Amino acid sequence: MYRTIEKTLEEWKSSVKRKPLLLIGARQTGKTYIMKAFGSRFFDSMIFIDFEKRPQVKAVFERNLEPSVIIPQLEAITETQFVPGRTLVVLDEIQACPRAITALKYFCDSNLDIHMIGAGSFLGVAIKRNDFSFPVGKVKTVRLYPLSFEEFLIALNKTFLLEACRKAFFSVSPVPPALHEELISLYRTYLVVGGMPEAVSAYLRDGSYLSAQNVQADILSDYKADIAKYADDSDKILAQRAFDTMPMQLAKENRKFQYNLIRKGATSAVFGKPIEWLCAAGLVLRCVKVPSPAIPLKAYEDISSFKLYLLDPGLLVEMAGLPKEVILNQLGERFMGGLTENYVASMLMTNDIPLYYWESSGQAEIDFLMQAGTAVVPIEVKASDHVRSRSLSVYRSSFSPNLCIRLSTKNFGYENGLFSVPLYAAWLLSEENVIRIITYTSNLETTL
């Protein structure tokens, strides 16, 4: 199953100033599979340690952290000879051994030609703790998310549709109607199946939505077990309660996270830390309010107002108990708005786009804001082809953006600074691509 992160790993392997790599991602997003496949493809051998399965290996890192001391011990444990430049060293579930994370500093400074990857399902949680020395500036951090819609189409062997999307996107012109309808249908399939690798594999194997659903149910059960196992004792129940409200939070017309949906009288003082844990574990994605859409967006965050999305739309469908026919047959359902926003949030995060939204005194709201170079681009999300929006009109009259993007089930199109992008093409919304569109449409306006 091809993952676009493979390009990043290949670039890292060939980098002259290579640092140890930390691969962060929620459980069951495919980290272990990616590392093993990468090692098999590009290296002669691989030293693979899983600290959860082999906790005794932690003893290797208890004293001397010099690579010249650690590598021979790992060779003996795995019965694999280390060859500089030709052996990949993988420390999986590295958060279970904080001293191994600290050791990455010494591997970075070593003169040995070492390709080392550390990965972990709760590595994001470990990094936020202050109980060990994190190798700041000595590692390259990469995040792995569930399969994007692009990767989903690759798995389905539909790469010709991706090329049609790219061509239409960069020319801001429609795809042929027949391809548009096929892509819309596949987009709805993706909402049901989602991007968790095992769920996608089950769907590909059996051609059954039920097979994917069974996998999703198991994953959600595992996540709840993880919360009970790995969250601090004082946060376990609170994190579980907050996680359980995700469908309710996204079913509201105003999708700002509300503590009182967890329990009456709940406040950020009580649930702030558990929500931080869910975000650090990668189970939820946080979208923060920005009252003033100016660059840099991070400088204008209102951290007291935010929305939360589940890491994968397919998991949200399963968690909410939404009937599959509602999505597949485009039946009217209010929950589709929240599900569609969740899908877009997951696509933006796959492209490393921080999640922000804009709201004006409860009168107007833009679902997402993207910083693209020196521009702030508003992104409006519609679940269908009904695209009238007072909020976007208010935003445009207030801030006069160079480009606005509207995601819906309508085909590609451009008019008067508004770029209509089909929902199935949300995976193309990277900062680099949007900057290209700003330049292209600006030249187009000048020509016209």
pLDDT of 385 reads: 85
Residue 233 confidence (pLDDT): 81
Q: Rounded to an integer, what distance in angstroms lies between the CA atom of residue 100 and that of residue 122?
A: 14
Residue 447: predicted pLDDT: 65
Domains of the chain: residue spans and CATH: 5-143 (3.40.50.300), 149-447 (no CATH)
Q: Which helix (H) or strand (E) holds 143?
A: strand 140-143
269 pLDDT band (50/70/90 cuts)?
A: confident
What sign results for the dihedral spanned by CA atoms 6, 11, 14, 20? Answer: negative
CA distances (Å), origin 185, targets 120, 335, 383? 35, 19, 13
Q: pLDDT-derived band of residue 124, with 50, 70 and 90 as boundaries?
A: confident
| Kind plus residue range of the DSSP H or E element containing 74 | helix 67-78
Tokens representing residue 80 in the block: 């694999």
Q: Smallest Cα–Cα separation from 212: which of 230, 227, 234, 191?
A: 191
Is the pTM here over 0.85, yes or no? yes
Query: How many residues belong to the chain?
Result: 448
pLDDT value at residue 330: 77
DSSP state of 264: T
pLDDT at 130: 62
Residues 388, 400 contacting (CB under 8 angstroms): no
The mean pLDDT value of the chain amounts to 94
Report residue 434 as tokens: 């949007």
Q: How confident is the model at residue 127 (pLDDT cuts 50, 70, 90)?
A: confident
The tokens describing 67, both together, are 């690579």
pLDDT of 270: 87
**Residue 131 has what pLDDT?**
64
Q: What span, in angstroms and rounded, lies between the C-alpha atoms of 358 and 124? A: 27
**What is the pLDDT, as a whole number, of residue 146?**
98
**pLDDT tens, residue by residue, 380-427:** 999 988 878 889 999 999 999 999 999 999 999 999 999 999 999 999
Q: How many CA atoms lie within 13 A of 437 on its CB side?
A: 31
Q: What is the largest CA-CA distance in the chain?
A: 70
Torsion of the alpha carbons at 331, 337, 340 and 341, rounded to the nearest 10: 180
Residue 65, token pair as written in the block: 């952290």
Lowest mean pLDDT among 5-19, 254-268, 294-308: 254-268
Residue 445 has pLDDT above 80, yes or no: no
Contact (CB, 8 A) for 342 and 376 = no
Alpha helices in 305-362 (DSSP H): 313-320, 324-328, 335-350
Closest CA to 378 of 428, 436, 321, 434: 434
| CA 270 – CA 311 distance, rounded (Å) | 23
Mean pLDDT, residues 356-360 taken together: 94
Mean pLDDT, residues 297-307 = 95
Hey, what are 220's tokens?
A: 């959600």
pLDDT in tens, 186-213: 999 999 999 999 999 999 999 999 999 9
